[in-house]
Amino acid sequence: MVQDMALLVQYVVVGLAVGSLYALVALGIVLLYRTSRILNFAHGDLATFGTFIAFALLTAWRWPFAAASLGSLLTTAVVGAAFFFLVIRPAKESTLLGKIVITLGLALVLQGATVILWGTGTKILPFPLSDIKVYRLGQVVVSQISVGSFAVGLALMGALYVLVQHTRVGLAMRAVSQDTVAAQVLGIPVKQIFALTWGLASALGAAAGILLAPATLLDPYMMLDPFLKGFAAAVLGGIDSMPGAAVGGLLLGVLEALFGGYVSVKFKTTLAFLIIIAVLVVRPEGLLGREYKRRV
């Protein structure tokens, strides 16, 4: 009985650790969607690209970890913003679905560039925390890296929340997301806000990638699955809600771990998606999303 309890708690702990990373990925997707209504399918590949930048800074340039992470976040942000200025803005005539396909094209380009620059081999990202070193609470085991990335993930989410809800820039971002034209009329530099959002979302992706890499190893395709789960988590929580993204990510992580553990490892993704569909049928706007109102 005690052992069963311990196992249950262990699954939940494992799920939370993974879920916090899903949540980070989801946050980047939500942030961009709120502002620009674009579902960014290049988010995963931007994140991978950023992680490889960190890898290059750490190994080839021998920067300290903090500096390398910062460098990676900044570079990825610049790439994201550049993408907005160079492609998305000039293509402003295109439909929303057209923009989705543009991001798909970008995903291929980034993936190709990553492969050409760093090869397809699996790599280790040097990380200050160890994943072999574990903490034990009774029979429940938590690795140092899980605790660390969970904490960093929460901190990043908190910082983002403060930025969006309690700063002038955040106010501008929210204004643009509610009504772009009105925001422009009121003198908000919409173009810069869009670029900032692209940069911020991309940097968040890179942060997620750097936190994921020690647990998943680093290769050009590492974000395929996490991106998908992050996207699903964002929708589960409500695609326009940032707290929703966090809740959705953690929930999806735990759900998957429990399903994998107690029902079937083979079908865990299917079951997770069935749950999401069931939730959406009851709440079409996601768990914490705003109710969908339209003018006809």
Partner 1 sequence: MELRQRYEEDLTLVRGVLGWSALLALLAFLALLPVLAPGYFLYTASLVAVHVVIAVGLNLLVGYTGQISLGHAGFVAVGAYAAGVLATRLHVPWPGAMLGGGIAAAFFGFLVGIPALRLTGPYLTIATLGFGIAVNQVLTNWEQLSGGRTGLFLPKLAIAGVRLRDHHIYYLFAGLAAALVWIATNLVRSHVGRAFVAIRDSDIAAEVMGVNLTVYKTLAFAVSAFYAGIGGAMLAYLLGYLEPQLFTLFESIYYFSMIVIGGLGTIPGSILGAILLTILPQQLAGLKQYLPLVYGATIVLVMAVEPLGIYGRWLRIKLWFKTWPF
Partner 2 sequence: MRLARIGVILSLLVLAATATVAQPQERGVTDTEIVIGSSQPLSGPAAFWGQGVGGGMDAYLKVINDQGGINGRKIRLILRDDGYLPPRAVANVRELVERERVFAIVSLIGSANTFAVRDYVIENQLLWITPTADANMWAGFKDKKYLFVAYPGYVDEGRILTVYGARQMGAKSVAVFYQNDLYGQKGLVGVKRGVAEARIKLATAVSYEVTDRDVSAHALKLRQSGADTVILYALPTAGALIVREMAKIGYTPKLLSSFTLADPIMFQLAGEAWNGVTLTAFFPVPGTDAKVDAMLETLIKTNPQLRASPFNALAGVAFLEPFVEALRRTGPNVTKDGVVRAFESLRNWDGEVIRGVTFGANRRQGINRIYIVRSEGGQYKKLTDWIEYPVGF
Task: Please give the Cα distance from 103 to 205 (Å, whole number).
Answer: 15
At its nearest, how many Å lie between partner 2 and the CB of residue 82?
24
Binding positions for partner 1, 151-210, rule CB under 8 A: none
Distance CA 80, CA 121 (A): 25
Distance CA 124, CA 219 (A): 9
* Residue 18 touches partner 2, criterion: CB under 8 A: yes
Binding mask 52-81 for partner 2 (x = CB under 8 A): ------------------------------
Q: How far apart are CA 164 and CA 166, in angstroms?
A: 6
Residues in region 20-59 near partner 1 by CB under 8 A: 33, 39, 41
Binding mask 100-129 for partner 2 (x = CB under 8 A): ------------x--x---xxxx-x-----
Q: Is 291 in the site for partner 1 (CB under 8 A)?
A: no
**Rounded CA separation 126/65 (Å):** 8
**Which of partner 1, partner 2, none interacts with 131 (beta carbon under 5 to 8 A by kind)?**
partner 2
Q: Determine the interface stretch with partner 1 among 20-28, 62-70, 123-131, 270-278 (rule: CB under 8 A).
A: 270-278
Least Cα distance to 70 among 49, 54, 88, 87 occurs for 54
Q: Contacting partner 1 (CB under 8 A), which of 2, 3, 66, 93?
A: 93
Q: How far is the CB of 242 from partner 2 (least distance, A)?
A: 23
In the block, which residue shows the tokens 């009851």?
282
Binding to partner 2, residues 247-276 (CB under 8 A) = 256-257, 260-261, 265-266, 268
- Which tokens go with 106? 């970008």
128 φ/ψ angles, rounded to the nearest 5 degrees: -70, -25
- Residue 122 near partner 1 by CB under 8 A: no
Of the pair 108, 134, the CB lying nearest partner 1 is at 108
Which entry of partner 1, partner 2, none binds 186, CB below 5 to 8 A by partner kind?
Answer: none
- Long-range contacts formed by 125-129: CB under 8 A, 24+ apart: 125/51, 125/54, 125/55, 125/58, 125/210, 125/213, 125/214, 125/218, 126/58, 126/59, 126/65, 127/65, 127/213, 127/214, 128/65, 129/214
Dihedral sign (CA 177, 178, 181, 187): negative
**Residue 231 site contact among partner 1, partner 2, none (CB < 5 to 8 Å, cut-off depends on kind):** partner 1
Q: Among residues 43 and 149, whose Cβ is nearest to partner 1?
A: 43
Q: Where are the alpha helices (DSSP H) in the chain?
A: 2-36, 43-59, 65-83, 96-118, 144-166, 168-178, 180-185, 190-216, 224-237, 242-258, 268-282
**Could you say which residues in the range 126-155 bind partner 2, by CB under 8 A?**
131-132, 134, 136, 141, 143
By CB under 8 A, name the binding residues for partner 1: 33, 39, 41, 87, 90-91, 93-95, 97-98, 100-102, 104-113, 115-116, 120, 228, 231-232, 234-236, 239, 266-267, 269-270, 273-274, 276-277, 280-281, 284-286, 292, 294, 296
